């Protein structure tokens, strides 16, 4: 299976479990929440391994580094906003907005980054 498709598929599963979790409302359903977190952690590790392999094995261009840093930054935004939203007292409309939009930006950035690196 293509590494780009695997990365995109894992992000789509993260978005799907996030939407499923959102549809259940608060308090958060612990099984769905745990599944969502596990998939996020596995995906983060996978992305990290792929990026470090690329950096180690290839002659890296500066714009590839920029794409990797931007994608990693968006992943961090998604992760931190999700962690903050898991606490009932920290639910803020701006934070919810950021967490609802940033996964789609991450999906786009990840696809572009993996696509450009693999070319």
**pLDDT score for 1:** 55
Q: What is the pLDDT of residues 59-115, one digit of tens each?
A: 778 888 899 899 999 999 999 999 998 887 777 899 999 999 999 999 899 888 888
Half-sphere exposure (CA, 13 Å, Cβ side) for 7?
25
**What secondary structure does DSSP assign to 16-78, as a single string?**
HHHHHHHHH-SSPPHHHHHHHHHHHHHHHHHHHHHHHHHHHHS---HHHHHHHHHHHHHHHHH
**pLDDT score for 58:** 67
pTM, 2 dp: 0.80
Domain residue ranges of the chain, discontinuous segments joined by +: 3-118
Helix 30-57 / helix 62-85 crossing angle, nearest 10 deg: 170
**pLDDT score for 20:** 93
Average pLDDT value for the chain: 87
């Amino acid at each position: 299976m293509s590494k780009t498709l695997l990365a995109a598929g894992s992000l789509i599963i993260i978005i799907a479990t996030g939407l499923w979790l959102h549809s259940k409302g608060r308090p958060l359903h612990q099984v769905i929440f745990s599944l969502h977190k596990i998939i996020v952690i596995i995906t983060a590790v996978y992305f990290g391994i792929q990026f470090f392999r690329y950096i180690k094995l290839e002659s890296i261009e500066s714009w590839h580094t920029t794409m990797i840093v931007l994608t990693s930054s968006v992943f961090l935004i998604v992760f931190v906003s999700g962690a903050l939203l898991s606490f009932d007292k920290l639910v803020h409309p701006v934070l919810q907005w950021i967490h609802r939009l940033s996964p789609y930006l991450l999906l786009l950035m990840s696809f572009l980054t993996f696509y450009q690196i693999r070319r």
